[in-house]
Amino acid sequence: MTFTMMQAPWPPEVVGRLNAYQAVGFFHPYTCGGNHDGTPPSLVATPEGWVCPDAGCTYTQDWAHTAHGDGRAAAEADILADMLGAGRATAGAAATAEQVATIVGSHRFSYANEHDLHIALAAILADSGFEVRQEVPLSTGGRIDLMTGTVGIEVKVNGRASEVMRQVARYAACPDITALVLITSRAAHRTLDRTIGTDGTVNGKPVTIVWISQVVG
């Protein structure tokens, strides 16, 4: 999927597709950049652009990714939902962090971007019979890429090691998460092993790092 930009104003059919994208549940929605406590609300598409649904918030945004406005992302989510099972999470037992690491570590992935990798990881876990959810809101704010039960899974193909470690620490401090799996293809992230405690924990939560080959396709 190529992520080119489209500027508002948008015709009614594009507005409808953008709002359908917001409701999909698999992908990270467009969210408000204004000052909100906790998780920022998802934006609402209008012909003039994105607006915040919160009364009193004047935040607007006049761009979106073309793929989100032409229906491709929503169609892809419907296909994934059919593949994973009913609803927006798979049926099945929650995987342990060790099971996630074993399953992911045994596969080679072909992907063009982090979005593609999310889809592939969710499908592989579902095919293995495990429950999996994507873009899960956390009680402490923000979203984590994937969860199975209370195991959080974060995917990184970019970013500095120090930034990733700060994000891992934030997730580890969240009571929703009992264990973390970091999946990364970045050679620069190999230093993270040295920043995790000798007992393999961050903020008292076990953290497992899985290195995958970056096969771009």
Per-residue pLDDT reduced to its tens digit, 37-48:
777 888 999 999
Q: Where in the chain is the domain with CATH 3.40.1350?
A: 89-216
The answer to whether 92 and 81 have CB atoms below 8 angstroms apart is no
Confidence of residue 50 (pLDDT cuts 50, 70, 90): very high
pLDDT at 76: 56
Question: How far does Cα 210 stand from its chain's mean position?
Answer: 17
Q: Facing residues of 193 across strands?
A: none
Q: Facing residues of 13 across strands?
A: none
* pTM for the model: 0.59
**Fold classified for 89-216:** Trna Endonuclease; Chain: A, domain 1 (3.40.1350)
The answer to whether 25 and 135 have CB atoms below 8 angstroms apart is yes
Residues of the chain above pLDDT 70, percent: 82
The answer to whether 60 and 49 have CB atoms below 8 angstroms apart is yes
